[in-house]
Amino acid sequence: MSKIVADWMNRDLLTVTPSTPLADAVKLLVARHISGLPVIDETGKLVGVISESDLMWREQGLEQPPYMIFLGGVIYFQNPLTYERDLHKALGQTVGEVMTPHAISIAANTSLSEAARLMHDKKIHRLPVVDEQNHPIGIITESDIVRAIAVG
């Protein structure tokens, strides 16, 4: 019998909303020793994820995209909209301003091997587990999958 996400996911789910102050979310991550949280809207549906990676923008700083001035105009060598998005994220004060929107999620009856493949392919460390209405019911992490491998 194959292992499924429901058997290994963490059901003690903590969530935040887009309006949650960023400082509160950071305190929650640190206090609970977790690296990410699902973000839900007012109806309880998954709208994103906030993770340690999203918070790195605050500390690493940003460099203005390279440009040159030519005939009185500015020519950017990289998309300036990317810089604006990253700057907004670095200066964000709420979860909604910093989170990764449109989180990749998974169903509880998905096999662990598929969850592992998805995490590897998308280079993510956790997957919110959702029901049919896109409400989070748990979370599966790389550590959970490694634990399942260890058990055999």
Q: What is the pLDDT along the chain (152 residues), one digit of tens a residue?
A: 579 999 999 999 999 999 999 899 999 999 999 999 999 999 999 999 999 888 876 565 556 666 567 677 666 566 656 655 555 555 578 999 889 999 899 999 999 999 999 999 999 999 999 999 999 999 999 999 999 989 87
The tokens of 146 are what?
């490694």
Q: CATH number of the domain that 88 lies in? A: 3.10.580.10
Domain that holds residue 122: 5-151
| Structural domains of the chain, count | 1
Cα torsion through 94, 100, 106, 112, rounded to 10: -110
Q: How far is residue 99 CA from its own chain's centroid?
A: 6
Contact 36, 125 (CB under 8 A): yes
